[in-house]
Amino acid sequence: MRQYPETKNTVVTITTAYPGASSDLVQGFFTTPLQQAVAEADGIDYLTSTSTQDISSIEATMRLNYNPNAAIAEIQAKVASRLNVLPEAAQNSVISSTTGDSTALRYMASYSEENFRHLVVLADETTLVRLRDIAAVELGAQDYDSATFYKGIPAIFIGIEPTPGANPLSVAARVHEALPDLRAQFPEGLKAHIPYDASELIDESINEVFKTLAEAVLFVIFLSLGSIRAVLVPSVTVTLAIVGAGFLMLLIGFSINPLTLLALVLAIGLVADDAIVVWRPPPARSPRATCASTPRASRASSGRKARHWR
């Protein structure tokens, strides 16, 4: 069960720190030589890099379905070949990789409407000390290159990603069950909500399959043909077809996702249409028309025979 068909889109990140260096220095002594070395690795689709104060970051996006282990090994070897040209005071490069969807299954937004200056630092029978009493408090960030908001309020977003092979519906259900316990442990004024949940799309797609099955078999076929037997045959056929399709998808490595569920919805509609066409009886001829046409046919036949014998 997945949100999208499974693909291996690997991104390898090379991060190198040099405390005290300006962005220009980082660009010249770290980003440029490392990027040139990484570009020689196999399987790279494209490279992006950023140079900021103290930090050099290079992202190598590999070709689709390229082996992630081979990608890391290739890039590690290329980075190691350039370590001798980097400044000695530089920290060792950190190489990490991510494989799979770039968007998490769920995002949880945590924000506070409480003024942090009113947080209690010390409380006893005679003294109440708040944070504003002992420090100058202001809302800040580690850097101001980006900011996140939830309904106009500054917030922190936490991405929840399922492990490879995990059922996203089960993961989302467990997160939903754990959220009340987490909220109970939050300090006063801290709130958490889930503004984005990709499992809802998967759940709706599954419900759409059952809804289409019920509408097509129970209503469309029965109302069109008015026969219980005509409903039973497509019901058994569609059920066996869905089970067989699921078994075949398992054998060839396909996942159940909104695209494959959409294909099932379309296939159910085709089965319903074919059932109506197959079970639709031909229009019955009127008995009077049959009886009335018989004498004419007899006379025409006799006339033709008489003319023949002349």
Per-residue pLDDT of the chain (310 residues; tens, 9 = 90+): 666 666 667 889 999 998 888 889 899 999 999 999 999 998 899 999 999 888 999 999 988 888 888 888 989 999 998 888 888 878 888 888 877 666 778 888 888 766 677 778 888 888 888 888 888 877 677 667 778 888 888 888 988 887 766 788 888 889 989 988 888 888 778 888 899 988 888 888 788 878 877 777 667 777 776 777 767 777 777 777 778 877 887 787 777 777 777 777 777 777 767 666 665 555 555 555 444 444 544 444 444 443 444 4
Residues in a beta bridge with 130: 120
Q: How far is CA 127 from CA 120, 122, 124, 132, 136, in A?
A: 11, 7, 5, 14, 20
| pLDDT number for residue 144 | 72
Q: Do domains 10-99 and 106-197 have the same CATH topology?
A: yes
pTM: 0.55
| pLDDT number for residue 112 | 76
| pLDDT number for residue 307 | 44
Cα dihedral sign, 133-136-139-141? negative
> Are 97 and 12 a contacting pair, CB within 8 Å?
yes
- Counts for the chain of helices (H) and strands (E), in that order: 10, 10
Domain ranges of the chain: 10-99, 106-197, 201-279
Closest to 8 in 3D by CA, of 91, 76, 100, 78: 100
State the CATH class of domain 10-99. Answer: alpha beta
Distance from C-alpha of 217 to C-alpha of 165, rounded to nearest angstrom? 33
Give 159-168 contacts, CB < 8 A, sequence gap 24+: 159/104, 159/106, 159/107, 160/104, 160/105, 160/106, 160/107, 160/108, 161/100, 161/101, 161/104, 161/105, 162/105, 164/100, 167/1, 168/1, 168/2, 168/3, 168/105, 168/198, 168/199, 168/202
Residue whose entry in the numeric block shows the structure tokens 């010249």? 28
| pLDDT number for residue 298 | 46
Residue whose entry in the numeric block shows the structure tokens 């220009």? 24
| pLDDT number for residue 32 | 92
Distance from C-alpha of 110 to C-alpha of 190, rounded to nearest angstrom? 7
Distance from C-alpha of 2 to C-alpha of 256, rounded to nearest angstrom? 6
| pLDDT number for residue 4 | 61
pLDDT tens for 52-81 read: 888 999 999 988 888 888 888 989 999 998
| pLDDT number for residue 142 | 67
Distance from C-alpha of 265 to C-alpha of 213, rounded to nearest angstrom? 8
pLDDT tens for 30-55 read: 999 999 999 999 889 999 999 988 89
| pLDDT number for residue 256 | 77
- Domain 106-197: CATH superfamily is Multidrug efflux transporter AcrB pore domain like (3.30.70.1320)
Under DSSP, is residue 254 helix (H, G, I), strand (E, B) or coil?
coil
| pLDDT number for residue 59 | 92
Phi and psi at residue 192, to the nearest 5°: -140, 135
Closest to 194 in 3D by CA, of 208, 209, 177, 211: 177
